[in-house]
Amino acid sequence: MKYKRKPSWLKTNTLGALRSSEIRRKLRERNLHTVCESAKCPNLGECFENGTATFMILGDTCTRNCRFCAINNNIEDLVPVDSEEPIKIAELSKDLGLKHIVITTVTRDDLEDGGASQFVHVINKIRKICNEEVTVEVLISDLQGNVNALNKIIDASPDVLNHNVETIQRLYPEVRPMANFARSLNILKNANIRNKNIITKSGFMVGLGEEKKEVLSLMEQLRKANVDVITIGQYIAPSKKHYEVVEYVHPEIFKYYTTKGRSMGFKLVESGPLVRSSYHAEKARKIINFR
């Protein structure tokens, strides 16, 4: 992979050293994972400083081979479902005083329901243990298109259901060879059909070789699927072995996408070089009561 120097606007701040240390210690004590660490998120320090973390359930090993992702995909490292994981997450969330709790997962195609049952158990434990004002966001896999598994999660009443399309449809064979764009779009459509009161959300990266018109087309498709919130961020290759960065998109282009997204009717658009799917996720709380 040819090295491409990062522009100045991709520099992250160094906030959060002390808070990060505290949260990491508490996660390790409970044998819990965050996508913040596993996916090498550039905003980890800032989010930890603000007491925000995205819990990653069902271990830290994925059954997919997406070429942009830093998460381990050696299937020999897959672990059994931890029945204590839901209560550990709920108790730590209460301990940290979180107001908006984000739960995501590695893709577990080896499980019959793709891990949907574990999402349900986590949501239920959070509702039981945490303050009733806490809101819950789930960032789910495509569940291999299993609508019954999706319905299990929807019926547990998360406040926000997020599923990332990650990139434009044309790039799926190169970037997400084990995924399917139509299947991902249907997850979002079906979620809205099942429960019109749920906030639906999706995110994708730019800088992978897409054209501006393709980005706008993707945004229009998401809006037609009644997606409420979108996140758009710059792709940063985790290593030289991953998919190569084609372009570092200028911040003005991200502002343009924000303007276009708002005009399309999205309730919230987070668009910027360092934006990731769960970055400023707590902003969704502002629109939950106005759905």
In a domain, 230, yes or no: no
In a domain, 180, yes or no: yes
Number of domains within the chain: 1
Closest to 10 (Cα-Cα) out of 263, 276, 285:
276
- Give per-residue pLDDT as tens, 62-79: 999 899 888 889 999 999
Q: Which long-range contacts (CB under 8 A, 24 or more apart) does 178-182 make?
A: 178/64, 178/65, 178/66, 179/64, 179/66, 179/142, 180/142, 180/145
In a domain, 114, yes or no: yes
Residue 28 confidence (pLDDT): 75
Name residue, tokens 């919230």.
Answer: 268
| Separation of alpha carbons 114 and 179, rounded Å | 14
In a domain, 270, yes or no: no
Residue 35 confidence (pLDDT): 55
| Separation of alpha carbons 229 and 81, rounded Å | 30
Residues of the domain holding 19: 8-201
Name residue, tokens 């004002």.
Answer: 133
Residue 125 confidence (pLDDT): 97
Residue 43 confidence (pLDDT): 52
230 by DSSP, 3-state: which? Answer: strand
In a domain, 137, yes or no: yes
| Separation of alpha carbons 246 and 104, rounded Å | 28
In a domain, 51, yes or no: yes
**What are phi and psi for residue 241, nearest 5 degrees?**
-85, -15
In a domain, 282, yes or no: no
| Separation of alpha carbons 95 and 45, rounded Å | 19
Structure token digits, residue 165: 């399309």
Residue 20 confidence (pLDDT): 61
- pTM listed for this prediction: 0.89
Helix H or strand E encompassing 135:
strand 135-139
180 by DSSP, 3-state: which? Answer: coil
Name residue, tokens 């668009």.
Answer: 271
In a domain, 98, yes or no: yes
Full pLDDT tens readout for the chain, 291 residues: 455 678 887 876 554 445 566 676 777 778 787 655 544 555 555 565 555 668 899 998 999 989 988 888 999 999 999 999 999 999 988 988 888 889 999 999 999 999 999 999 999 999 999 988 889 999 999 999 999 999 999 999 999 999 999 999 999 999 999 999 999 999 999 999 999 999 999 999 999 999 999 999 999 999 999 999 999 999 999 888 899 999 999 999 999 999 999 999 999 999 999 888 876 666 767 776 544
Residue 107 sits in a domain whose CATH number is 3.20.20.70
Under 8 Å between Cβ of 109 and 145: no
